[in-house]
Amino acid sequence: MDTHSAGEWDIHALQGRMLGSEELDALSNQLGIKIPDCVFGNSIVSFQNPASGFIYKFSADKALEMCGFEARTQKLYTEGELKFDHINVIPNEVQVSMASKWAAKTIPRDAAFATPHTPQVPAEICSRGRDWTYSSPYKGTVEGIDGNPIPETVRIAITEEAIPYNMLGIENPILWAHEVIFFEDELDDNGQSKFHIRVRAMQDCFYALIRSYLRVDHVVVRIMDTRVFHKFDERKILREFQMREASYDELRARGFNFPPQWAIDPRESDLIYERLPVIGIFRDEITY
């Protein structure tokens, strides 16, 4: 595990190993859902503040938990008091709104690398109990240190304050950075789903991008991002959740022609990000 200390914070990042078949089965039984074939179960990113007695962290099992329909329903925020582990959207509802179109949709068996006259197969929509695309709206977990309760001074609330992106430019050098992959899946050769985190620390702040990326070949592309920002001389963490999504037809209309190399480019989600329309933005803050 790599650790960076700045101000009151200890930031940890660990890229865990890929779980074996027995470990995957155990995790699947624990969560009660089918899980991706490629899970880096020990991966973790955490922001620990010993002086204030709490940790804000991300783990693979919690991210996968938000692929289950029941867990999503329990965590969805609609109104009233915010919970630390709330989510802002249930992405399957977006799929359902397109279900009649998708149900009749056929896609090439070889997905993004199809050639003319490739046999066609129906596009799968969902499986009972969980999102077959593994789109996770997970925004992180807040806990007390050493198993203690979360201090009463640590609170969460809706905010209109935006992340000051001007502090993230080249004039503010990065002192420490990591990228951690939590899970990914090729969706039975019909696309890609990936959950990963990029985190960095500068002299006066830290920033993280938590991304759930989905591509269902010839059907849809979706990005759910949670951006996390903290300035060391303030006692709050700003969070911004953003969902973007478009069908292949919509993306073509926006001028994206799906070049063959795009689907195998490590920067795949970054290359298409600006082409995807924003579905919703939700901001909150954790104060302490």
Stretch (H or E) spanning 200: strand 191-201
Question: What SS3 class is residue 23?
Answer: helix
**CB 283 within 8 Å of CB 239:** yes
The predicted-structure confidence for 30-85, as pLDDT tens digits, reads as follows: 999 999 989 999 999 999 999 999 999 999 999 999 999 999 999 999 989 999 99
Q: Which residue has the higher pLDDT, 125 or 209?
A: 209
Q: How confident is the model at residue 188 (pLDDT cuts 50, 70, 90)?
A: confident
Tokens of 20: 């074996």
Q: How confident is the model at residue 7 (pLDDT cuts 50, 70, 90)?
A: confident
What is the predicted pLDDT for the residue at 190? Answer: 87
The pTM of this model reads: 0.86
What is the predicted pLDDT for the residue at 129? Answer: 64
Q: Tell me: pLDDT of 108 over 90.
A: no
Q: How confident is the model at residue 125 (pLDDT cuts 50, 70, 90)?
A: very low
> What mean pLDDT, rounded, does the chain reach?
89
What is the predicted pLDDT for the residue at 96? Answer: 31
Q: Which residue has the higher pLDDT, 188 or 180?
A: 180
> How many other C-beta atoms are found inside a 10 Å radius of the C-beta of residue 250?
15
The predicted-structure confidence for 202-239, as pLDDT tens digits, reads as follows: 999 999 999 999 999 988 999 999 999 999 999 999 99
Report the Cα–Cα distance between both ends of the chain, in Å, rounded.
26
The predicted-structure confidence for 82-105, as pLDDT tens digits, reads as follows: 999 999 998 844 343 344 554 555
3-state SS record for 217-241: CCCEEEEEEEEEEEECCCCEEEEEE
What is the predicted pLDDT for the residue at 273? Answer: 98
Q: Which residue has the higher pLDDT, 127 or 223?
A: 223
Say which residues have a Cβ less than 8 Å from residue 196's Cβ, sequence separation at least 6.
Answer: 179, 180, 181, 182, 184, 210, 211, 213
Question: Rounded distance, CA 61 to CA 65, Å?
Answer: 6
What is the predicted pLDDT for the residue at 206? Answer: 98
The predicted-structure confidence for 17-36, as pLDDT tens digits, reads as follows: 999 999 999 999 999 999 99
